[in-house]
A and B are shown apart, each in its own frame.
Chain A
Amino acid sequence: MKKLATTKRKFLKNFSKAFALSFIAFAFQACYGTPRDMYDDVHIYGTVTSTATNAPIKGIRVSIVSDNISDITDDNGRFSIYAYEIMQSYAIRFEDSDFGKDGAFMQKDTVVQRDTLNYSREIPLNVSLNAKPIHRISF
């Protein structure tokens, strides 16, 4: 009898949860505009500098390799990307998008692993890039 009551209580609890969740989905789905954004994201941001001079580099394309997301560093070398939260790690590529304008830099790939104990949604990432070797040719 006690087992039956527990089962019944569990069923009602689960039913209430399911009902509550479906209500949220219905109540907030706007009819004008877009569907509601139900996912969470992670903010990866930082500054790209030159290894040699420590100066910020403008025009570096920063991409999440697996998800077709990218940003280009601004005048202060800063980038900011909101990435899909479901991923545990992010392969990030830094590549010179304006080759030669303020020096040419080597591409760099890195992997950001999320801390499984502290699921922070803010991930700072500062990166320095090496300049490409310059071969001087005398005419």
Chain B
Amino acid sequence: MPFDDFLKAILPLKNVYPKDSITVVITGGEPLLRSDIPECGKALRRNGFRWGIVTNGYAYNEDTHARLLSAGMGALTLSLDGLEDTHNWLRANPHSFAHAITALDLITSSKRLNYDVVTCVHRKNINELPAVKEFLISKNVKAWRLFTIAPIGRAKDNADLQLTPQELKQLMDFIVQARTDKRMKTTFSCEAYVGKYETKVRDSYFFCRAGINIGSILIDGAISACPNIPRKFAQGNIYKDDFIDVWNNGFALMRNRTWTKTDICADCKYYKNCLGGAMHLWNENRNEMLHCINRALAEVVGL
């Protein structure tokens, strides 16, 4: 997508919302595959938007770092999926870890950046989380966010990527313990309601923000919320719709979630706590919740 198309679509937002109140997060894929990200960012900042990227760090070197920061980048999330062998296995590239660590050293050296490191936890890296934690602390990382891998996309057919209920409990217990270590802030992402572990694994209660305070423009111009929710949930397209009009008058699907009271959520006594969980865990026909972490945890810790 030409950057000007994106900018044109979001520019009217600056007349509606206060300067600096909106953060544009460029994700992917990998945003740094585009060589013009610093120029894009500079244009965003010039127009009063804050901006950041989610990156695997592969193309992040000293020059990139200097150019992104000078363009006003203020936020960054770096993916690191384990120690060297595990990270490289998941990324299917023997050099990924080394590149990510180069990026990590640059990122942690910045006084300007609000950053965190995210780790997708799966069956091959769950037992090395304590070692990853110590490694990140040795690198002066201040914030670490842990995710599980949703059974969508390529992960759907890879059993090694899905934690068992016992391993989910292991992950929750690890995070609870890690949060007592004040050297680095460890958090479970707000990807799902986690029952008894709510408030023990993150600062705030589970709340899926898709379409509430997160909107997105996808590569084909589709207007949606988080990029990992089904494409059928798109609310319009910048090439034929006005973004603000869609934001103000669309998104009913995500702002009224009564439709989620179906499938395993239909008679769940915890429904009022999670309102059907995260949008990205619903199938595109909106009649099946793909995965409920609370239910899986309940198998080992009880509801």
Residues of A at the B interface (CB closer than 8 Å) are 26-41, 43, 63-64, 67-71, 80-84, 86
- Contact yes or no, A41 B67, CB < 8 A: no
**A32-B226 CB under 8 A given contacts A80-B70, A84-B111, A84-B112:** yes
**B 54-73 contacts with A by CB, 8 A:** 54, 62, 65-67, 69-72
Chain B 100-121, CB within 8 Å of chain A: the 1/0 string? 0000001001111011100000
Residues of B at the A interface (CB closer than 8 Å) are 20, 23, 25, 27, 42, 45-46, 50-54, 62, 65-67, 69-72, 74-77, 106, 109-112, 114-116, 143, 189-191, 203-204, 208-210, 213-214, 226-228
- Contact yes or no, B75 A41, CB < 8 A: no
Q: Which residue of A lies closest to B68 (CB)?
A: A69
**A31-B112 CB under 8 A given contacts A26-B204, A37-B75:** no
- Contact yes or no, B42 A69, CB < 8 A: no
Which A residues touch B77, using CB under 8 A?
Answer: 33-35
Given A31-B190, A80-B42, A84-B112, 19 other A-B residues pairs in contact with their CB atoms under 8 A: A32-B209, A32-B210, A33-B23, A34-B53, A35-B115, A36-B23, A37-B75, A38-B114, A43-B45, A63-B66, A67-B69, A67-B110, A68-B65, A70-B66, A70-B67, A71-B71, A81-B70, A82-B42, A82-B71
Q: Which of B25, B71, B208 is close to A34, meaning CB atoms less than 8 Å apart?
A: B25
The 4 closest A-B pairs by CB, nearest first: A37-B74, A82-B72, A31-B190, A33-B25
Which B residues touch A82, using CB under 8 A?
Answer: 42, 45, 69-72
Which A residues touch B115, using CB under 8 A?
Answer: 34-35
A-B contact pairs, 13 of them (CB 8 A): A28-B213, A30-B23, A32-B227, A33-B54, A33-B77, A37-B74, A40-B20, A67-B111, A68-B65, A69-B69, A71-B70, A82-B72, A86-B111
